[in-house]
């Protein structure tokens, strides 16, 4: 023990212990999302140091530990520096999809904080728009805005431009989106793939391109509402996830390109939250009918009627697991809008960052087996249940 205490390996152990202790104490002051992110990174020096001990010896391991610890310390300082916020002042923000869900809550939230809010709604005479008129200040303006309609996008641009004049528009939050009908990718009709891409991707791109001249004037912020399904593969979200992945990639490229103009771009990847995007029973019936009518006979036979009819019940189970508290998402969007050094990617919600780390850093077979495995034998298509039973008999 005495020999170990005076050896480089002993100092390595001390260093790892001190580093981990400081990280734990420092993390206690952070938000849950910051804690998760930095806890992952704080463990890297320890693993790297122990690995280098085996490969390079105790001295090499200690050197690598110090270098890695320094890198983590710098990263930690950078993350904390991003907490400095700009004043709201008279900043103007456009929010699409403000009829329901996150967009509706965000329009109210930003209005309450003193922003000049332009709330784009699909139906200017609908209940969501009426509630915004009733509950928000005179600073909030409602815009009839179907983001898949280029004419409405252009009209919205002219109205916003006329109001903000030379100050420009500080922020655009591309929130409008559709979920579609969660089902196996093979079962989804092509119309559902096209709808998801049209709204979740092409609509957001149309709005971004149209309003970028106003963002350039203010050197403001572009915030795109993606999804956890846009960063990791999730069963039954082939159409939705593909459209959100396209939006995330668009956000990353625009973040690089628009930095030259002083515009900062962020993508939000929330986990499951209870919003209007899940739709209504009437919409589920319509989407289920469309799905069933487009299935080839052999596909219908292989999956089985019980499996196909059980798809709709999945939506009821999803809603039960979703979080009704939208405050983590609203806080992330606010940070993206006002932080002096915003993040390029936000993962608000339970399990969002952990799932992303599992997908990025663990072997794919591990992720596929544990994260996306089917929950029960009842959800297995008929042909697979039959072949499984035959295998057992053999």
Beta strands, E only, 52-203:
92-95, 116-121, 141-144, 171-174
φ/ψ (deg, to 5) at 215: -70, -35
The CA R_g of the chain, rounded to the nearest whole Å, is 25
Cβ neighbours, 10 Å, residue 306: 11
Round to whole Å and give the CA distance between 172 and 236: 30
* Tokens 């963002």 sit on residue: 215
Chain CA centroid to CA 91, Å? 24
Q: Which two tokens stand for residue 26?
A: 């420092």
On whether the CB atoms of residues 118 and 145 are closer than 8 A, the answer is: no
Exposure of 125 in the CB half-sphere (CA atoms within 13 A): 0
Angle ∠(181,185,190) on CA atoms, nearest 5: 75
Q: How many helices (H) and strands (E) does the chain have?
A: 18, 7
Establish whether 240 is a catalytic residue: yes
**What own/partner pairs with CB < 8 Å and gap ≥ 24 does 254-258 have?**
254/208, 254/222, 255/344, 258/212, 258/215, 258/222
Q: Is the dihedral of CA 269, 291, 195, 199 positive or negative?
A: negative
φ/ψ (deg, to 5) at 149: -110, 100
Round to whole Å and give the CA distance between 194 and 215: 29
Q: Which two tokens stand for residue 382?
A: 């008929």
On whether the CB atoms of residues 343 and 266 are closer than 8 A, the answer is: yes
Candidates 109, 237, 240, 346; catalytic one? 240
What are the catalytic residues? 240
């Amino acid at each position: 023990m005495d020999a170990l205490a005076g050896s480089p390996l002993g100092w390595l152990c001390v260093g790892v212990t001190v580093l981990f202790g400081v990280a734990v104490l420092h993390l206690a002051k952070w938000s849950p999302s910051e804690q998760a992110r930095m806890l992952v990174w704080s463990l890297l020096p320890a693993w790297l140091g122990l690995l280098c001990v085996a490969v390079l010896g105790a001295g090499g391991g200690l050197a690598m530990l110090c270098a890695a610890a320094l890198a983590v310390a710098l990263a930690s300082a950078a993350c904390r520096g991003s907490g400095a916020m700009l004043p709201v002042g008279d900043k103007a923000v456009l929010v699409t999809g403000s009829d329901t869900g996150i967009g509706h809550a965000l329009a109210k939230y930003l209005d309450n904080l003193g922003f000049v809010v332009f709330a784009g709604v699909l139906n200017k005479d609908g209940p969501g728009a009426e509630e915004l008129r009733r509950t928000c200040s005179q600073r909030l303006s409602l815009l009839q805005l179907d983001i898949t309609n280029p004419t409405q996008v252009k009209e919205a641009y002219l109205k916003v431009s006329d109001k903000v004049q030379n100050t420009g528009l500080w922020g655009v939050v591309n929130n409008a989106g559709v979920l579609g009908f969660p089902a196996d990718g093979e079962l989804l009709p092509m119309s559902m793939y096209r709808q998801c891409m049209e709204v979740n991707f092409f609509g957001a791109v149309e709005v971004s391109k149209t309003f970028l001249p106003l963002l350039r004037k203010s050197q403001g912020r572009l915030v795109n509402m993606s999804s956890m399904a846009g960063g990791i593969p999730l069963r039954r979200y082939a159409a939705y996830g593909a459209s959100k992945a396209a939006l995330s990639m668009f956000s990353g490229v625009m973040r690089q390109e628009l930095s030259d103009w002083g515009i900062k771009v962020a993508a939000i990847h929330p986990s499951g939250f209870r919003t209007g995007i899940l739709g209504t029973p009437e919409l589920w019936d319509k989407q289920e009918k469309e799905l069933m009518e487009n299935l080839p006979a052999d596909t219908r036979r292989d999956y089985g009627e019980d499996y196909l009819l059980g798809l709709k019940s999945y939506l009821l189970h999803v809603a039960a697991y979703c979080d009704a508290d939208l405050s983590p998402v609203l806080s992330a969007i606010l940070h993206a809008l006002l932080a002096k050094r915003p993040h390029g990617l936000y993962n608000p919600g339970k399990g969002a960052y952990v799932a992303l780390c599992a997908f990025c850093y663990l072997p794919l077979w591990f992720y596929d087996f544990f994260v996306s495995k089917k929950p029960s034998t009842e959800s297995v298509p008929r042909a697979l249940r039959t072949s499984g039973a035959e295998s057992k008999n053999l």
